[in-house]
Structure 1
Amino acid sequence: MNDCVIVTGGAGFIGSNFVLQWVANTESEVVNLDALTYAGNRGNLTSLDGNPRHNFVRGDICDASLVASLFERFQPRAILHFAAESHVDRSITGPDAFVQTNVFGTFTLLQAAKQYWEKLPAGDKERFRFLHVSTDEVYGTLGPDDPAFSETTPYAPNSPYAASKAGSDHLVRAYHHTYGLPTLTTNCSNNYGPFQFPEKLIPLMILNALEGKPLPVYGDGLNIRDWLFVEDHCTAIRTVLERGRLGETYNVGGNSERNNIHVVHTICDLLDELRPDAAIGSRRGLITYVKDRPGHDRRYAINADKISTELGWKPSENFESGIRATVTWYLEHLDWVNEIRSGAYQQWIELNYKERLGAERLSL
């Protein structure tokens, strides 16, 4: 077995941040498997071009022969599974892709990992890890006074996306308990930061506000999320990989509950400070309340005491520092933004927001 890891979905938002952090902070090789769907972008990884420790493979995690060949060729000590369809709104309009990638894709990886792991020598078998990256959305929704999600919170997914991730979590758990596969699972809160695809709330609001376009806010804007800076999340995953107890789940949160309208107000105020535009005026004036998403969960919150107590991890960024760093990053990387705002992205924006905003206000 070699001192390398396989990362699935390593050209996506969280995965690419992880790969960049891994290469910067370790000496080991990374094999990056990504299908390069709409949210995967090789441009996230241009700083690694020519780096012999980064091996990029374009391919689908549902391709069993490809996945098996990567285990055989690279003999990794771990696989870190980020690859997923992850946008709730897309799961509502097209759930089949979510079941295929998130459930069947995870199953394919588990099967290949199990077959590889079973053939390893005893010492290597003890060292191997399968780390599955999941979401707090599998737990459902919280009331305003409910305690935050813990690792023992019952699963109650409310969207096709959340249900598909719950299914993948259960498969990972089953492969540990049935076959002994050395698995680890992390369930994270809402991530934000560099390289996030601009259909998600924070980058969408940054870019629309920058250009003086409408800022569509679902419902009353009071849905609450726990916001986690992506680089903190990546550090947590590395910590769990190295020191987590086998078969365990670790919740990863940012200790930063904020409602959506607070997030949007913060972005507006930061852009007014960092990139004022007299023609636009106060960006808060761009906010437009639109029809809510079906089944929109009211509140998520993560109790991250377990990872803090057992493994000593805590987030280094609070929401105020993280969101300022994120807004600054987007302002400094508008070329990256322009490259990924493809026709496919524009088609999605039209599909999701046309009826909510009205055709005459659609120019997002």
Structure 2
Amino acid sequence: MDSALVIGGTRFIGRHLVEDLLEHDYRVTLLTRGTRENPFVDDDRVAHIEGDRTNDAVLESAASTVDPDAVFDCVAYHPADVRTATDVFADCEAYVYVSSGAAYGREEIPKREGETPLHPCTAEQSTDDSVETYGNRKAECDRAVFAAAESGVRAMAVRPPIVYGPHDYTERLDWWIDRLHRFDRIVVPGDGTNLRHRVYVEDVASALRVVAERGAAGEAYNVGDRRLVTLEEMIELIADSLDTAVETVHAGPRELAAGDIELDDYPLYRTYPHVLSTAKLAALGWESTPLEAAMDRSVESHLESDRDGDENGPDRVAEERVLGILETL
């Protein structure tokens, strides 16, 4: 394969995917609505089609004019979008859909492809746009991928958990980096052993390409950091990248109540561990970036940006109340 169509591709995962494809000598075409700045506008290796992917005629035109070997679908959030795309691009060598670890419908450690059940999805949920139905819709999109494969389409899904790294518009990791950058004493929810799988964005990009090149039709592949760290260990990685020393103060529900804060108010915190098995993807020859390198790049990007993640977690005034209570205990 040497040509790729990336549906999406200018914001976060898609942007890194385009860079990875270019590094591996693909000719790349973007299909976007044109509502965001195109970082590849001056790169003559990247063509751009402007249009709404929910318009069937736009997809059909892209299929005929680009005739890509591989299609990477980064912005499909409804099952109908995937059904249409797998039909329009049925003759391509690979269709790879960006799914999510949120598609899994049962809590178990680790969550494995083909073993851990997916969320159900009602007809009403399949057309909804709320956060509450995100996992249901992603699961149904995966089932659309599997159905297409049964019809002869080489369609596959890649399931990342929380994605972090340069250009992360969610700013969840940025909240923590900002805290460690500005303060020498921070609150850590719980006992610091909370475990939530994360994945560096460049590794998601390489996983999408590897699955297109080597994956099996009708399969889903989890992608995540191969080495998992607890929340406190993640904080230590950030501190090392910032070359700073920070005192961490643990606070449970009772202590957090002093600041009217709950455990789940903290970004990247999850009460029950969320862990994805990545063995299936690794068996294709995919490798993840060492955590220290991934965090160094993420911190460098944060410091060069104006991101602070301020809307993602408790404000500092509330945390100061918690810290004050803890000082008296």
Q: How does 1:3-82 map to 2 (within 5 A)?
A: 3-26=2-25, 28-35=26-33, 41-42=36-37, 45=39, 48-82=40-74
Amino acid at match of 2:154: P
Call closer, same or farther: CA 1:359–1:210 in 2, change over 3 Å: closer
TM-score calculated relative to the size of structure 1: 0.69
Deviates more, 1:102-111 or 1:164-173: 102-111
Call closer, same or farther: CA 1:283–1:359 in 2, change over 3 Å: closer
Q: Is the 8 A contact 1:134 1:186 kept in 2?
A: yes
Amino acid at match of 1:134: S
> CA shift at 1:216, angstroms?
8.3
Q: Is the 8 A contact 2:104 2:111 kept in 1?
A: no
> CA shift at 1:52, angstroms?
2.1
**Higher share in helix:** 1
Runs of 4+ in 1 over 4 A off after TM superposition: 211-222, 283-289, 292-297, 356-361
Distance 1:320 1:169 in 2: 32
SS of the residue aligned with 1:225?
coil
Specify the alignment match of 1:96 in structure 2. Answer: none
Unaligned runs of 5+ in 1: 85-100, 118-126
Call closer, same or farther: CA 1:68–1:192 in 2, change over 3 Å: same
Specify the alignment match of 2:196 in structure 1. Answer: 225
Call closer, same or farther: CA 1:166–1:55 in 2, change over 3 Å: same
> CA shift at 1:212, angstroms?
5.1
In the alignment, structure 1 residue 136 sits paired with structure 2 residue 84: no
Q: How does 1:1-364 map to 2 (within 5 A)?
A: 3-26=2-25, 28-35=26-33, 41-42=36-37, 45=39, 48-84=40-76, 101-114=77-90, 117=91, 128-140=93-105, 142=107, 146-156=109-119, 159-177=132-150, 179-197=151-169, 199-211=170-182, 222-271=193-242, 273=243, 282=246, 284=248, 290-293=261-264, 298-309=272-283, 311-315=284-288, 317-331=289-303, 333-334=304-305, 337=306, 349=311, 357=315
Call closer, same or farther: CA 1:284–1:4 in 2, change over 3 Å: same
Call closer, same or farther: CA 1:360–1:245 in 2, change over 3 Å: closer
Report how many aligned residue pairs link the two structures.
Answer: 300
SS of the residue aligned with 2:31?
strand
Q: Is the 8 A contact 1:6 1:80 kept in 2?
A: yes
> CA shift at 1:265, angstroms?
4.5
> CA shift at 1:16, angstroms?
0.4
Q: Deviations over 1:159-192 (max 9, x none)?
A: 4221121111111111221x22221222223322
Query: Percent of pairs identical after alignment?
Result: 23
Distance 2:271 2:74 in 1: 23
> CA shift at 1:297, angstroms?
6.1
Deviates more, 1:234-243 or 1:252-261: 252-261
SS of the residue aligned with 2:79?
helix
Q: Is the 8 A contact 1:5 1:78 kept in 2?
A: yes
Q: Deviations over 1:2-21 (max 9, x none)?
A: 95211112112111001011
Distance 1:298 1:59 in 2: 40
Distance 2:98 2:159 in 1: 6
TM-score calculated relative to the size of structure 2: 0.76
Specify the alignment match of 2:125 in structure 1. Answer: none
Q: Is the 8 A contact 2:185 2:246 kept in 1?
A: no
Q: Deviations over 1:243-276 (max 9, x none)?
A: 21222222223222223343234324533x1xx6
